[in-house]
Amino acid sequence: MDAMIVGLAANPWALAVLAGVVFADAFLVVVPGEVAVTALGSVAAASGLPPLWSVILIGALAAFAGDASCYTIGRLPHPRTWRVLQHPRPQQAMDWASTRLRTHAATAVFTARFIPFGRLAVNLSAGAAGVPAVRYLPIAAVAATAWAAFQALVGAAIASIVPGGAVVAVLISIAIALAVGWTIDFAIGRIRPAA
């Protein structure tokens, strides 16, 4: 099984698939971009293929491209009227993002990278609110790079600490990435009613 996972990760298409998943995660919150970066980071550390730096680089570039695309879409007329954003959770996320972007843009962008619907909401809201690209895009680039490095290094750390090869490292990395996401969801759910 280890040989199969390492073989898949060594395939040149592995980084292209990673880029596609991370980019799609900007629009489709059910796509697990963080899980993909964490898992490939663990394989990179366990086997050396692909190089860890390439996982971070491709993850960061794809995340930034997705964020910039959402920001650009947010600049279109009236994104809040779109049917997909009419449900309560996306509306709450958009309201939260708009408020935070006015006062703490960098904090909002960095925080949103780890919150379901947060990334989409902040990027769309930044565009819709008219946050200047010259201000927003550098923040988004730094946030995307920090996020990709964090996710890949979590996977790499797990692979170096946990014995059992690439399969075990990937499984534990995925479990930790999901647990962190669920913990953030739970914490936000407990905080929101008080706000």
pLDDT in tens, 36-56: 898 899 889 888 889 999 999
Q: How confident is the model at residue 195 (pLDDT cuts 50, 70, 90)?
A: very low
Instruction: Supply the pLDDT for residue 118.
Output: 79
Instruction: Say which residue, 192 or 133, is predicted with more confidence.
Output: 133
First CA to last CA distance, the chain: 48
**Helices 33-47 & 52-74, crossing angle to 10 degrees?**
170
In the predicted structure, residue 20 carries a pLDDT above the cut 60: yes
In the predicted model, is pLDDT for residue 7 greater than 80? no
170 token code pair:
């990937």
Mean pLDDT of 94-99: 71
Q: Distance between CA atoms of 86 and 72, rounded to whole angstroms?
A: 20
pLDDT at 1 over 60: no
Which distant-in-sequence residues (6+ apart) come within 8 Å of 86 by Cβ? none
In contact, 30 and 89? CB cutoff 8 Å = no
The pTM assigned to this predicted structure is 0.79
Tokens of 110: 């960095």
Percent of the chain past pLDDT 70, that is, above it, reads: 74
Identify which of 169, 29, 17, 170 has the alpha carbon closest to the alpha carbon of residue 113: 29
Cα 115 to Cα 31, 124, 152, 188: the distances in Å are 13, 14, 18, 9
Question: How many helical (H) and strand (E) elements, i.e. helices and strands, does the chain have?
Answer: 9, 0
- Helix, strand, or coil (residue 191): helix
CA atoms within 13 A on the CB side of 174: 10
pLDDT at 76 over 70: yes
Name the most confidently modeled range: 39-48, 60-69, 103-112. Answer: 60-69
Distance of CA 89 to the CA centre of its chain: 18
pLDDT in tens, 148-185: 999 899 889 888 887 776 667 667 766 776 676 677 66
Choose the weakest-confidence range: 8-12, 23-27, 159-163. 8-12
